[in-house]
Structure 1
């Protein structure tokens, strides 16, 4: 059948209406899915918008992981009774976060020329951005030194987890006093087994700082083995101290490192331990579940860490455990990443 100009116009109009209807349906369906994903969990934490600061005594500041419009926001709760407290929510979102002495480091997702990208934001005590640095990959770890002068971050350049068969990381350290950036710890000289060491497969991750603003500890990986290394920013050197140490976290008194140790077994991949830096004696903690996190010290006696929530997808709960291997794990709060040590410490 030959189409007359009028029939062609009618067919074209019908096609345009059909495509418009499909487009509207797609947009509405995506909006419905986003709304469903952003719905707060029944029985989940309550929120109130307000001012969040990093230097308020007696407050914990951490990344909220509860589903809803405040997902990934930095929130604040009192140190006492954090589980049931109303969360004061900021407008700052982070994929990884840490703070000390009024300085914060926030690893964020963003877009550059319409493509996904990541950046490190250095925050002041009022959560205002002081400096911003592009990241080479997916955020993994972040730390600030006790003085607030140094910040470090680790990203995945290849791979998305430490459990992957193949991954590559890049770790940077920033001195905020002069904004001097070490973009890649792989530039540092490595001492392993008492000798200088070089290998193309060297990776670093999980920096933790001592109080002198020079010494740091981190994980070194090479030849399918991991090591705890002690580094010096001034000397640009790292020295291996112990094997099978990942994601170290230095205690407030500077004498011990909490870390995850790779173990064999059906129920765990990593087991939390504490290493005495003077004797290199390692103590397994009472937490027997696999912890893939860089632990935090809430005080000299207590280690905190995040675990995937049971029966709730895509969120973490924060637990604590005594640092001497005694006791039992205790739930600190649901739907949130492990918080940095609060301003003024804890009693």
Structure 2
């Protein structure tokens, strides 16, 4: 009888161990699954962005089916179009570069940058690349209190313009040669020659229209910053001061009609918006506490923003 109890006690112990291991396995698998990032919901516009979670700054892509993929590329600012990606990144402490990558993932050009990355753009064809950096200071908050450098690279010809300050500029119809000019936030037209940018001088900012071939620019409107030309070339989105508190807000300008549309819920935006398609804009805006979040807004101002990706910045289509 004693042997029977011993045998059955051992068997019961083995069964108990198996049950504990099985339960632990279920717990571990369930926990790991819960810790894995969920795929974005279907219907989310396809976009590339910088994932700022954990300070990793990994470039991430969400496709039109909501599937999320992350590689090894780390950027402070990124933009992708026409098979070309420009990645503004830190190479050494205090040193930065604009790295151009083709659709195969190969690096085709690297340009040293004279300051902290701020803005990046690629033309729709992938031929023209631009970047803006802060040379001194790190904020737009004090007009005249910062210095920028904006460069443009033509991948087809190899022409590199390290700063737009050498372009001939016409301000309000008069040729100007000011010593305190700053340019930032380039956006390209589909002819790979025409571009828009911001000119800041003293306490005034202008939207400028430029011609890369002739190395010239002319002011088109005051108060606009960080322009973004729509894919169909008919509208420009930009931020400007507005509202009772004078915060930055997003506006869309109809170039033919000269009519501005304010985008509701965009108060406090400090970004160069990106067109995900002809009807949708994406931009990053810092939440309370400082973490950036990517939102989208209808370009016609018909609805409030929709949150796309938390703890993320630098959206591009």
Determine which of 303, 306, 316 is the counterpart of 1:330.
Answer: 306
**Contact persistence 2:284–2:315 (CA under 8 A):** no
**Contact persistence 2:136–2:147 (CA under 8 A):** yes
Please give the alpha-carbon distance, in whole angstroms, between the structure 2 residues aligned to 1:171 and 1:338: 17
Q: What are the within-5 Å matches in structure 2 for residues 234-249 of structure 1? A: 234-249=213-228
Q: TM-score if structure 2 supplies the norm length?
A: 0.83
* 1:216 and 2:195 are equivalent in the alignment: yes
Please give the alpha-carbon distance, in whole angstroms, between the structure 2 residues aligned to 1:245 and 1:190: 17
Determine which of 207, 230, 233 is the counterpart of 2:212.
Answer: 233
Q: Name the structure 2 match of 1:144.
A: 122
Please give the alpha-carbon distance, in whole angstroms, between the structure 2 residues aligned to 1:234 and 1:338: 28
SS at match of 2:316: coil
- Unaligned residue ranges in structure 1 (runs of 5+): 1-42, 49-57, 342-347
Measured at CA, do residues 127 and 45 of structure 1 come closer, stay the same or move farther in structure 2, by a change above 3 Å?
farther
Please give the alpha-carbon distance, in whole angstroms, between the structure 2 residues aligned to 1:99 and 1:140: 16
SS at match of 2:61: strand
Shift of 1:264: 5.3
**Contact persistence 1:242–1:280 (CA under 8 A):** no
Q: What are the within-5 Å matches in structure 2 for residues 1-347 of structure 1? A: 46=37, 59-67=46-54, 71-81=56-66, 85=67, 87-111=68-92, 115-165=93-143, 166-263=145-242, 265-266=244-245, 269-310=247-288, 313=290, 315-341=291-317
Please give the alpha-carbon distance, in whole angstroms, between the structure 1 residues aligned to 2:299 and 2:53: 28
Measured at CA, do residues 45 and 212 of structure 1 come closer, stay the same or move farther in structure 2, by a change above 3 Å?
farther
Measured at CA, do residues 259 and 240 of structure 1 come closer, stay the same or move farther in structure 2, by a change above 3 Å?
same
SS at match of 1:339: strand
Shift of 1:126: 3.1
Measured at CA, do residues 289 and 279 of structure 1 come closer, stay the same or move farther in structure 2, by a change above 3 Å?
same
Shift of 1:335: 2.2
Shift of 1:263: 2.5
Please give the alpha-carbon distance, in whole angstroms, between the structure 2 residues aligned to 1:80 and 1:177: 33
SS at match of 2:313: coil
Shift of 1:324: 1.1
**Contact persistence 2:76–2:87 (CA under 8 A):** yes
Greater C-alpha radius of gyration: 2
Is the strand fraction higher in 1 or 2?
A: 2
Shift of 1:45: 6.9
Shift of 1:62: 1.6
SS at match of 2:315: coil
**Contact persistence 2:47–2:276 (CA under 8 A):** no
Shift of 1:44: 7.9
Please give the alpha-carbon distance, in whole angstroms, between the structure 1 residues aligned to 2:163 and 2:181: 11
What is the RMSD of the two structures over their aligned residues, measured on CA atoms?
A: 2.1
Shift of 1:269: 1.8
Q: Residues 130-172 of structure 1, C-alpha deviation per residue, up to 9 Å, x if partnerless?
A: 1111000000100000110000000001111212451010100
Q: Residues 237-282 of structure 1, C-alpha deviation per residue, up to 9 Å, x if partnerless?
A: 101000000000000100101100123533x620110011112221
SS at match of 2:94: strand
**Contact persistence 2:80–2:86 (CA under 8 A):** yes
SS at match of 1:148: coil
Q: Which moved more, 1:210-219 or 1:125-134?
A: 125-134
* Structure 1 consecutive aligned stretches of length 4 or more whose deviation exceeds 6 Å: none
Measured at CA, do residues 208 and 129 of structure 1 come closer, stay the same or move farther in structure 2, by a change above 3 Å?
same
